[in-house]
Amino acid sequence: MKEIQITAANQEKALRLAQEQLAADAEVDLDSIQLEIKQVGKKSGFLGIGRKFIYQIIVKDGLLSKREEGILDIVTTELGIDGTFRIKITAQGIFLWVTPPEEPGKPVSYERIKQALEEKEIIEIDWPTVQEAIHEGNNQWEKIAPRLPERDRDAEVAVKISQDQLSAHLNYYPALGGKKLTAAEIIKILNENRVVFGVNQDKINELVNKDLKLESVLIAKGKPPEQAKDAELVYHFDDKKKSIGTKREDGSIDYYDLGLINNVQPGDILVSKQPPEPGIPGKAVTGEEISPPPPKDKELPGGKNVERRDDETLVAKILGQVVVDGNRINVLPNYEVNGDVDLSTGNIDFVGNVLIKGNILEGFIIKASGNVEVRGHVFTSDIDAGGDVIIQKGFVGKNKCHIKAKGNVNVKFVENGTIESEKSILVSDAIMHSHITVAEKLEVTKNKGLLVGGVIRAGNSIEANIIGSHLATATILEVGIDPQLKNKMGELEEVIKKDRSSLNKSLKAIEILIKLRGEIGTLPEDKNLMLIRLQSTANRLQEDIDRKKLELENFEKKYDKIDAGRIVVNKKIYPGVKISIGKSHYNVYNALNRTCFIEEEGDIRQKTI
């Protein structure tokens, strides 16, 4: 707050003289102050003629309560407000005000100021003074260029219609000392540029109050045509990938015979085509009708041992099984090995199903885009299958070999092996000291049904007859999500919590400043700069929170399967077993019989079955 004295004939002239005097002061912004006037004396002219009065002019910046000032001080100290700058154009010249950031806020960059000056088309700039203002950040107006009235420019807009005519954008150039545009004038310009449909009136009303250059503002949207329905291919063979077994005559399930092979006879229809359908026209921003593109036709796929009966039907040529390889449909016979996989056969890499009637001896690699069935043992070899893996006997991995399947895995026993399945794993006898990762469920329930040692991770459930051993063998069971992902989620939640706290502080300060502006009409210079900085920081924090919340939501979607997560023990579980279901953990210290472990209200509960 400051005071000046003015001698004038009346109060109106005193105020005018005071404003002229203050306008010459580069440190005073007339738009952000209030003037309070009172008469404090008078002067008489000669013989009482031309009497004048003495007025005291009080220049007020506005006041906040101690509580509100305290809140602003806390926010500016703790939040880390970004640095900012202001550019003021006066009759005396062009002035720059730079405010430094509050750590860990971001400082004002030279490029941002340069861009702002270029947008305002300011020339003859004293760049050393600009650099000094950025470096010093001393919160005062610095003259950086002379005022050149001849460079004043009226506000302008440039309209551009998209190539598909479904949207119109405009570039808005604010007045630089010249005439501003009204909403009606902007609409007239749009009409002159053929933009007559789908105009956003609210956006136009916003533009007339802007003093910043804006580019590519969406100002009108057309109505897109309803797309035509493309031709569709219909596949006539069954998708049996979700099968976990076949039903015997006595009603029991044979877990070794999955029935996944799609058998076809010569002449069976594999694929038929449904014809395309036309779309519905739309409307451009110019008011013209937009015809939808014609529907796309599709060709029947090709492949091995298939043929076209006509333009809309694909049939099988031979007896065999259907195998989909990308966009191709093949009818292939099984690749069969009548004995063992050994040096006489070498490694196998086959597009289709593989049947091995003997064993896979040590050191070989089997790859198949379909199913792999082994009627003997797998000894220290790798299997990669695009479908199911069926091993009628056992898999011995010696801690260096794996089985990977996009479908189910069926095996009699697993010893020191690694198995990964994108579906379910069914083991009849035992899993010993192995690493098992299964997207859905693991069952070890036939015969002995033993699960002991190693690490077992399942998306939905683990069920076994016996888990662990009387020797307290370390056995880790996890149902649900990867522990590394849980750690990431916890860290992300903490960051969001911290950002939200900072955002709430900044919004509270913004609320106080906006309230003050409403009471006094305009904010003092320092408070106005603080408001701009707080709004910038709040926008950045909100963007960070939104981005991190979306990332957290994507993580949380992986918890969808945890709701049904459980571990079932049909006979006995021993000490030494560590259980994780979702975010909860449980150590088994005493042997338990016939029990089930589930997650309830954040804890693992043990229930007798």
Closest CA to 413 of 441, 383, 392: 392
In this prediction, residues 427-435 reach a mean pLDDT of 96
Query: From CA 234, how far away is CA 273, in angstroms rounded?
Result: 6
Residue 251 above 50 pLDDT? yes
Residue 270 above 50 pLDDT? yes
Query: From CA 54, how far away is CA 370, in angstroms rounded?
Result: 101
Q: What is the pTM of this model?
A: 0.41
pLDDT value of residue 4: 81
Residue 361 vs residues 356, 375, 396: alpha-carbon distances, Å: 11, 13, 10
Longest dimension (CA), the chain: 135
- Give the end-to-end CA distance of the chain in Å, rounded to a whole number: 81
pLDDT value of residue 506: 87
pLDDT value of residue 571: 95
Residue 512 above 90 pLDDT? no
Query: From CA 242, how far away is CA 259, in angstroms rounded?
Result: 10
- List, for residues 97-153, the tens digit of each pLDDT value: 888 887 777 788 888 888 888 877 788 899 888 888 888 877 788 898 887 877 777
| b/e 415-451 (16+ beta carbons within 10 angstroms → b) | bbbbbbbbbbbbbbbbbbbbbbbbbbbbbbbeeebbb
List the 52-60 sheet strands across, edge first. Answer: 2-8, 52-60, 34-43
Residue 574 above 90 pLDDT? yes
pLDDT value of residue 350: 75
pLDDT value of residue 5: 83
Residue 283 above 50 pLDDT? yes
Query: From CA 510, how far away is CA 131, in angstroms rounded?
Result: 30
Helix (H, G, I), strand (E, B) or coil at 421: strand
In this structure, how many other beta carbons lie within 10 angstroms of the beta carbon of residue 66? 7
pLDDT value of residue 79: 64
Residue 195 above 90 pLDDT? yes
In this prediction, residues 240-259 reach a mean pLDDT of 50
In this prediction, residues 366-373 reach a mean pLDDT of 89
pLDDT value of residue 286: 94
Residue 388 above 90 pLDDT? yes
In this prediction, residues 39-51 reach a mean pLDDT of 67
pLDDT value of residue 193: 94
In this prediction, residues 83-110 reach a mean pLDDT of 82
Work out the pLDDT band at 35, boundaries 50, 70, 90. confident
Helix (H), strand (E), coil (C) string for 460-503 = CEEEEEEECCCCCCCEEEEECCCHHHHHHHHHHHHHHHHHHHHH
> Position 146: which residue type?
P
Place of tokens 């700039």: 125
Residue 415 above 80 pLDDT? yes
Residue 452 above 60 pLDDT? yes
pLDDT value of residue 417: 97
What token pair was written down for 367? 């790859």
pLDDT value of residue 520: 73
pLDDT value of residue 330: 87
Work out the pLDDT band at 257, boundaries 50, 70, 90. very low
pLDDT value of residue 73: 66
Q: Greater confidence, 260 or 265? A: 265
Between 108-117, 219-228, 315-324, the lowest mean confidence (pLDDT) is in: 315-324
pLDDT value of residue 192: 93
pLDDT value of residue 256: 36
Helix (H, G, I), strand (E, B) or coil at 516: helix
pLDDT value of residue 188: 93
**Residues 45, 27 contacting (CB under 8 angstroms):** no
Q: Greater confidence, 422 or 333? A: 422
| b/e 185-223 (16+ beta carbons within 10 angstroms → b) | ebbebbeebbbbbbbeeeebeebbeeeebeeebebbebe
Residue 446 above 80 pLDDT? yes
Mean of per-residue pLDDT scores for the chain: 84
CA–chain centroid gap for 1, Å, is: 49
Between 294-308, 329-343, 451-465, the lowest mean confidence (pLDDT) is in: 329-343
Work out the pLDDT band at 483, boundaries 50, 70, 90. very low
Residue 241 above 80 pLDDT? no
Structural domain spans, the chain? 2-60, 152-221, 232-281+296-329, 332-481+563-608, 484-560
Query: From CA 110, how far away is CA 128, in angstroms rounded?
Result: 11
**Residues 516, 79 contacting (CB under 8 angstroms):** no
Residue 526 above 90 pLDDT? no
pLDDT value of residue 50: 63
Helix (H), strand (E), coil (C) string for 565-576 = CEEEEEEEECCC
Residue 26 above 60 pLDDT? no
pLDDT value of residue 264: 76
Residue 75 above 90 pLDDT? no
